[in-house]
Amino acid sequence: MLLRQVEYARPATVEEAISLLAEHDGARALAGGQTLVNVMKARAASPDVLVDLADLAELRTIAFSADQGSLEIGAMVTNTQLIASSEVEVARPILAEVAATIADVQVRNRGTIGGNVCVSDPTNHLPPLLAAIDATFTIRGQSGERTVSSDEFFVGVYMTAVGEGELLTKVNVPPSSGAGDGFAGLTIGAHGTYIVNAAATVSDEGARIAIGCVAATPVRAIAMEERLAGGDYSEESVRAAAAGLGASLDPPGDVHGSADFRRHVAEVSAVRAVLQAAGRRK
């Protein structure tokens, strides 16, 4: 199906993009277009104005922050850029590892980290990963800039803390400081959409675990994290800590797997992600 007629703007600065988004009620930011153009074709979204972020070089950079050594990833950084980035390789290689398994090369070349999180699709790879590594999200609007945690950022299916007339400008990833990161799950075919996934970070401060595809937004496995607080990451201990995780979840069931199957996969994935993360600690 062809797109409905739509106005198109290609601002040269972030400020101009924000003004355009604020001026027009029906305006939407266009990043890689991998989801937005498809939903427009299906008439599931019909923005009046597309504000193309393609020329905003400021949103395409990956750099270490001057102060704490955290990694600042511009919202328009593509999955392919994440995969090739030496900064990502040094700071948090899990980002490249996971980005490399998203869909196919075309989607990875066009799809951006900003688009991946702003679309807030519960089956996407990056939301649970960014929740586990405790990333924060910088949002800019006409009244200024704010930075929110992943708990605040992901609000619901296709809903985030980015409001009307605002842009996500960057994703801030804390330095690993010796922490190990892990990611595991079950996909529909190779490089397919996840049925369930789990991401984990293990550091001297404990484990952070987030489960994807089981609710509208990533779910932190707090009880499992608390059971691991003693710092024993043997397989036996991690398995014991995961017991009951599935029962605490309320995932949907569909043609790819029942709710009970997803509960089981969530436990298995969480165990695998934590063991991988613990094994990578420095």
Ligand X SMILES: Cc1cc2nc3c(=O)[nH]c(=O)nc-3n(C[C@H](O)[C@H](O)[C@H](O)COP(=O)(O)OP(=O)(O)OC[C@H]3O[C@@H](n4cnc5c(N)ncnc54)[C@H](O)[C@@H]3O)c2cc1C
For ligand X, the nearest residue by Cβ is 115
Shortest gap between Cβ of 75 and ligand X (angstroms)?
Answer: 4
Shortest gap between Cβ of 93 and ligand X (angstroms)?
Answer: 18
Shortest gap between Cβ of 121 and ligand X (angstroms)?
Answer: 7
Q: Which is nearer to ligand X, 112 or 203 (CB)?
A: 112
| Helices and strands, number each (H, E), in the chain | 12, 14
Q: Which is nearer to ligand X, 32 or 180 (CB)?
A: 32
Provide CB contacts within 8 A for 229, sequence distance 6+: 206
d(Cα 27, Cα 208) in Å, to the nearest integer?
A: 36
Shortest gap between Cβ of 199 and ligand X (angstroms)?
Answer: 12
Q: Which is nearer to ligand X, 29 or 241 (CB)?
A: 29
d(Cα 76, Cα 267) in Å, to the nearest integer?
A: 33
Provide CB contacts within 8 A for 15, sequence distance 6+: none
Provide CB contacts within 8 A for 106, sequence distance 6+: none
Shortest gap between Cβ of 32 and ligand X (angstroms)?
Answer: 3
Strands of the sheet with 180-187, listed across from one edge: 180-187, 194-203, 206-212, 219-220
Q: Please count the other Cβ atoms lying within 10 Å of the Cβ belonging to residue 268.
A: 18
Q: Please count the other Cβ atoms lying within 10 Å of the Cβ belonging to residue 146.
A: 13
Residues that bind ligand X (CB under 6 A): 28-36, 38, 53, 75, 102-103, 107, 110-112, 114-116, 118-119, 124-126, 162, 167-168, 193
Q: Which is nearer to ligand X, 85 or 112 (CB)?
A: 112
Shortest gap between Cβ of 24 and ligand X (angstroms)?
Answer: 13
Location of structure tokens 């199957």:
261
Q: Which is nearer to ligand X, 27 or 278 (CB)?
A: 27
Q: Which is nearer to ligand X, 4 or 68 (CB)?
A: 4
Q: Which is nearer to ligand X, 160 or 201 (CB)?
A: 160
Packing angle, helices 235-242 and 259-279, rounded to 10: 150
Tell me the H-state helices in 119-221. Answer: 126-132, 150-153
Shortest gap between Cβ of 59 and ligand X (angstroms)?
Answer: 7
CA 140 to chain centre: 18
